[in-house]
Amino acid sequence: MGNSKTYDVEEYWNYRATLAYVDLYQAVCAYGRSCIENEAMDAVQRKMFSAMLKGINLKGKRVLELGCGIGRWVPFILNLGALYIGVDISET
The 10 Å CB-count burial string (b at 16+, else e) for 75-92 is eebeeeebebebebebee
The 10 Å CB-count burial string (b at 16+, else e) for 16-52 is bbebbeeebbbbbbeeeeeeeebeeebeeeeeeeeee
Average pLDDT for residues 38-50, to the nearest whole number? 88
Going by C-alpha positions, the residue among 76, 45, 26 that lies closest to residue 86 is 76
What percent of the chain is modeled with pLDDT above 90? 33
Q: Name the residue ranges covered by the structural domains of the chain.
A: 9-87
Q: What is the pLDDT of residues 57-84, one digit of tens each?
A: 999 999 999 988 888 889 999 999 999 9
